[in-house]
């Protein structure tokens, strides 16, 4: 599965656990770190962990992938799953505002994810 399919699968898995404000940043043209960075939020540490666990399970079951690295899952304030081409960040709202990764990666192409559809916010 290519990185586009992988990030969409991850976004659907986030949406399945009621993740809020799902954003996908296509950064392949501006960074070698990854092709995509997914940023979303959960309202509590329990929801953050549920979102991360569902992403991990979905990508393992449907794409036979496990993350290269995982961080912050136990704390549930900011959890990260690194799949190489796709990096998934799940924040609680205050932590998301504080780190403001959308602004940090503003030179990438920003997409919203609503109702299982990608919506391009900035021209590619």
Which of residues 61 and 118 earns the better pLDDT score?
A: 61
This prediction has a pTM of: 0.89
> 52-89, pLDDT tens digit by residue?
999 999 999 999 999 999 999 999 999 999 999 999 99
25 CB-near residues (< 8 Å, 6+ apart): 36, 37, 38, 39, 101, 102, 105, 108, 109, 110, 111
CB atoms within 10 A of CB 85: 17
* pLDDT above 90 for 103: no
* Confidence band of 107 (pLDDT split at 50, 70, 90): confident
Which of residues 38 and 102 earns the better pLDDT score?
A: 38
pLDDT confidence of residue 93: 97
Q: Which domains does the chain have, with CATH numbers?
A: 3-120 (3.30.460.10)
């Amino acid at each position: 599965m290519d990185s586009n399919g992988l990030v969409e699968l991850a976004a659907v898995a986030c949406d399945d656990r009621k993740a809020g404000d799902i954003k996908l940043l296509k950064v392949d043209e501006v960074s070698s770190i990854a092709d995509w960075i997914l940023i979303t939020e959960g309202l509590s540490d329990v929801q953050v962990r549920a979102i991360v666990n569902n992403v991990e399970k979905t990508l393992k079951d449907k794409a036979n992938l496990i993350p290269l690295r995982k961080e912050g899952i136990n704390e549930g304030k900011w959890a990260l799953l690194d799949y190489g081409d796709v990096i998934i960040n799940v924040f609680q709202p205050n932590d998301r505002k504080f780190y403001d990764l959308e602004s940090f990666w503003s030179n990438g192409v920003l997409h919203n994810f609503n109702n299982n559809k990608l919506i391009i916010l900035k021209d590619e």
